Amino acid sequence: MDDISQEITSLVGREVYSNNGVFVGEVEDLRLNIDGEAVTGLAVANLNSELFAEEARRGQGIIVPYRWIRSVGDIILINDVVERVREPDDEEDELVV
């Protein structure tokens, strides 16, 4: 059991990137399902202000569902779904995103 808790706490502080290499934020905490003994999400703070302008300005974080995670190593890679959260301002932005 101690090995499991050490592995879970080692996620805190890791940087989160989309699978396209876009910085999303940094893991601040974990959301757990105690009954199912599983991680259900990552609480991410220090957000990329281009993706999460409102949340970053207010100093809030987001919860990334664990099912979005593609891999965990020195960094955490998640599906590029997060990049689509930001609404394009104009037609030019639509081409970039």
Residue 6: the pLDDT is 54
Residue 83: the pLDDT is 58
Q: What is the mean pLDDT of residues 7-27?
A: 89
Residue 25 has pLDDT above 70, yes or no: yes
Q: Could you give the domains of the chain?
A: 11-96 (2.30.30.240)
**Please, which residues have CB within 8 angstroms of residue 74's CB and are 6 or more apart in sequence?**
14
pLDDT in tens, 28-71: 999 888 888 888 899 998 888 888 877 666 777 888 898 999 99
**Please, which residues have CB within 8 angstroms of residue 88's CB and are 6 or more apart in sequence?**
94, 97
Burial 9-47 (b: 16+ CB within 10 A, else e): eebeebebbbeeeeebbbbeebeeeeeeeeeebbbbebb
